Amino acid sequence: MSLPGGLLLLMLLALALGKPQVSSPGCQSWVLGSRDPEELCCKICKPGNVLVKDCGKDQHALCTPCESGSYVPNSNPASCVTCSTCKDHQQVKRPCTPTSDAVCECIAGFQCGDATCSFCQQKCRVGEERINRTCHDCPNGTFSDRADQKCVPWSSRCLEPNQMVIKGGSRVHDIICGPTENSAQVLVPTLVFCIFVIIASMMAIGVRHTLRQGRIKRKDALPKPPNGLQQGVPAEECSFCFPQQEQGDSSSSSSSSITSVDSEQRVLFV
């Protein structure tokens, strides 16, 4: 039964990664010997090899690879160095090769303790601090409000002059300050007055709007005059007018009163 090409490739890759890498022995760069023209003197070994003999007739015998579990550092290619081992809370990130050391990383819940991740330390939560690579709760009177932060003492007083402590500190926060009683006594009436002013203003706006709507409705309810005619002036707006008939009655009554006066004068003189 044949395996799919992709699965076969993954299996070969896994075998290649699991198998330790071995460098081919020998010298990479050499020169002819000065005393014997058949001799070769090695200048640079192949990667992962160390020099074991300066000159010889077989260039493969001049350099030899390091043993398994060791590598040749670039800083000192003349000797093999034992590969680092990932331990405690570490795991292998990149395995050791003949030319490079192993690289370790920390498991979940831990973090590297230095730049080279030579050791791991526990990640501390809020309210904890690290002591000897292990997290411990903040002692009483101290707090830590951020992860991986050292515990610091609570503040001894409020910074603002018109504040007082309204809540004590805990492992995760400092003391909490708020306004003093005098400030509260001033603040509460002020807030009440502001709320009253806002409510009164809203009521006044509502009443004004209602009156305006009532006037508009009354105006729309008045009968409209026929086309081409103007609506007469209401009687209460023309109190200064006098009908023609009343003017005539007035003149006749004044003339009659004049006649009666003349008659009385004649009787007196007679």
Residue 54 in any domain: the answer is yes
Residue 28 in any domain: the answer is yes
Residue 76 in any domain: the answer is yes
Residue 134 in any domain: the answer is no
What is the reported pLDDT for 221? 61
Domain span holding position 67: 21-82
Residue 233 in any domain: the answer is no
Question: Tokens at residue 162, please?
Answer: 């018109």
Residue 135 in any domain: the answer is no
What is the reported pLDDT for 264? 46
Question: Tokens at residue 202, please?
Answer: 């809203």
Residue 239 in any domain: the answer is no
pLDDT tens track of the chain, all 270 residues? 444 544 444 444 444 444 445 667 888 888 887 777 788 888 888 988 999 888 888 888 899 998 889 999 886 678 899 999 999 899 999 999 999 999 999 999 999 999 889 999 999 999 999 998 899 999 999 999 999 899 999 999 998 888 999 999 999 999 999 988 665 555 666 777 788 789 988 888 888 878 777 777 666 665 555 555 455 444 444 444 444 444 444 444 444 444 444 444 443 343
Residue owning tokens 């570490």: 90
Instruction: Tell which phi-psi region holds residue 248, choosing left (phi > 0), alpha (psi between -120 and 50) or beta.
Output: alpha
What is the reported pLDDT for 84? 92
What is the reported pLDDT for 37? 77
* Number of separate domains in the chain: 1
What is the reported pLDDT for 266? 45
Q: How many CB atoms lie within 10 A of CB 182?
A: 10
Residue 14 in any domain: the answer is no
